[in-house]
Amino acid sequence: MKKLGILGGGQLGRMLLQEAANYPVDTWVMENDAECPAAHLCHHFILGDIRDFDAVYAFGKKVDALTIEIENVNIEALEKLEAEGTSVFPNTKALKIIKNKILQKGFYTENEIPTAGFKIIQSKTELKAMADFLPAVQKLATGGYDGRGVLMINKKEDLDNGFDEASILEKMIPVQKELALIVAISQQGEPAVFPPVEMIFDPVLNLLDYQLCPADLPEKTLWKAEAIALSVARNLKSPGLFAVELLVDKDGNVFVNETAPRVHNSGHHTIEAHFSSQFDMLLRVILGYPLGNTDAILPSIMLNVVGEKGFRGDVVFEGLEEVLQIDNAFVHLYGKKETRGGRKMGHVTVISKDKQDLLLQAKKIKQLLKIKGTGKD
Which residues of the shown chain bind a second copy in the complex (CB under 8 A)?
Answer: 1, 14-15, 17-18, 21-25, 27, 40-43, 275, 284, 289-290, 292-293, 295, 297-298, 315, 320-321, 324-325, 327-328, 330-333, 335, 337, 351
Q: What are phi and psi of 94, to 5 degrees?
A: -65, -45
Shortest distance, CB of residue 312 to a second copy, whole angstroms?
17
Residue closer to a second copy, measured from CB, 1 or 129? 1
Residue closer to a second copy, measured from CB, 1 or 131? 1
Shortest distance, CB of residue 87 to a second copy, whole angstroms?
19
- Helices then strands, each counted (H, E), the chain: 11, 21
Shortest distance, CB of residue 136 to a second copy, whole angstroms?
41
Residue closer to a second copy, measured from CB, 207 or 297? 297
Q: Is the peptide bond before 174 cis (omega within 30 degrees of 0)?
A: no
Instruction: Count CB-CB contacts under 10 A for residue 339.
Output: 23
First to last CA, the chain: 47
Residue closer to a second copy, measured from CB, 17 or 247? 17
Residue closer to a second copy, measured from CB, 192 or 199? 192
Shortest distance, CB of residue 128 to a second copy, whole angstroms?
50
Residue closer to a second copy, measured from CB, 42 or 243? 42
The identity of residue 154, as a single letter, is N
Residue closer to a second copy, measured from CB, 17 or 228? 17
C-alpha 52/C-alpha 47 separation (Å) is: 12
Shortest distance, CB of residue 43 to a second copy, whole angstroms?
4
C-alpha 11/C-alpha 123 separation (Å) is: 36
Helix axes 11-20, 278-287, angle to 10 degrees: 60
Q: Is 320 helix (H, G, I), strand (E, B) or coil?
A: helix
Q: Decide if 36 contacts 336 (C-beta within 8 A).
A: no
C-alpha 29/C-alpha 47 separation (Å) is: 8
| Burial (CB count within 10 angstroms: exposed 0-12, middle 13-18, buried 19+), residue 324 | exposed
Q: Decide if 248 contacts 176 (C-beta within 8 A).
A: yes
